[in-house]
Amino acid sequence: MLDFSLVEHLTTAATLANGNVSTGELTADTPMPAVVIERVNGRRNRVLSGRALFADASFNIHAVGNTVESARLLNQQVHDILDGFRGLLGTASPTDVKSCFSDAEAASRVVRDGDLFRAIFTEPFRLKYVDG
């Protein structure tokens, strides 16, 4: 499944998250910084015969840190790894991976988690791929 292949790809990449990548919610004891992948939607585009030509999926990638600076740096690392990516994600062969934002436009916010404050940068990505 593309979601888990994306997690695996970002887990093995050298980022500030140091392998802390998930598709779920973070708990209060999750080491920071971390990356959370949220699938927004996806579809398969088919021809009249029913054969799938390609598929596309949209993800929000959340870079979370204890400070705004650590979250911003992690967001930049993820952006650099994914934007324009060519290669394999599991059995999927991406034909187009791009951010829906420019570097400076990643949406940021600070949230309170009990006694902790977390800085979050969110960047939407769109992947077009052929499933192999």
For 2-131, give the CATH class: alpha beta
pLDDT in tens, 53-108: 788 899 999 999 999 899 999 999 999 999 888 888 888 888 888 888 765 566 78
**pLDDT mean across residues, the chain:** 85
Q: Tell me the domain boundaries of the chain.
A: 2-131
Alpha-carbon gap, residue 63 to 85, rounded angstroms: 18
* pTM, rounded to two decimals: 0.85
Report the distance separating Cα 73 and Cα 127, nearest Å. Answer: 22
Give the whole-angstrom CA distance, residue 45 versus residue 28: 40
